[in-house]
Amino acid sequence: DRKSRQYIRRMKKKNPNAIIAVVGCYSQVSPEEILEIEEVNLVMGTNERRTIVDEIKKLEVVEGDKKASTVDDIMKVRAFEDIEISQSNGRTRAFMKIQDGCDRFCTYCIIPYARGGKVRSRDIESIVNEAKTLAENGYEEVVLTGIHVASYGKDLKEEKVALLDVIKKINEIDGIKRIRTSSVEPILF
């Protein structure tokens, strides 16, 4: 938190006319604290990322005190925030988020409060479509990411899918040579 505040102040000093937006876990759990920082103009939670450009454009036309906060109650968010790739950067490894949130509430961990206290899984068709797009753009390796990737699908009541189903579907895509997973907890299998 301290390093974030220092960085915010340093960036505003470097460019006094900049609109400073704070987005992510820190802003999700402490939006009021961040909004009190003089240099901050916009505070957004972990689930509002896709609207950042629109929110900044709104602030650009405001005269006077440019301050806004759009932080939803992450505990009420049930849908996975699906943000697909928009460009290729010439690399061969892509990171693809397939799951978010955690319902474990470990005493030492802030993730359920910052990312949501429920597991949210991305639709398998969306994952497959993005993996196909990645392969078409020259990516050969896909790293499946999330808070607890092994819990993928446990929130999807209509369709019974699990992490293994995602891996099998991606494995069928021409051009994808390697599939890796991150944050796999054996206890969740």
User: Per-residue pLDDT for 162 more than 70?
Assistant: yes
Among the residue ranges 48-62, 118-132, 165-179, the one predicted with the least confidence is 48-62
User: How high is the mean pLDDT of the chain?
Assistant: 85
Query: d(Cα 81, Cα 50) in Å, to the nearest integer?
Result: 9
For residue range 6-30, list pLDDT tens digits in order.
999 999 999 998 899 998 888 888 8
* Cα angle 15-19-20, degrees, rounded to a multiple of 5: 90
Per DSSP, the residues of 26-84 read: HHHH-HHHHHTSTT--EEE-TT-GGGHHHHHHHHHT--S---EEE---GGG--S-----
Q: How confident is the model at residue 118 (pLDDT cuts 50, 70, 90)?
A: confident
pLDDT of residue 6: 92
Which pLDDT does position 131 carry in this prediction? 95
Give dist(CA 57, CA 17) in Å, integer. 14
pLDDT at 132 over 80: yes
pLDDT recorded at residue 122: 92
What are the structural domains of the chain?
2-72 (no CATH), 76-188 (3.30.750.210)
CA 116 to chain centre: 11
Instruction: Flag whether pLDDT at 86 surpasses 60.
Output: no
pTM for this predicted structure? 0.68
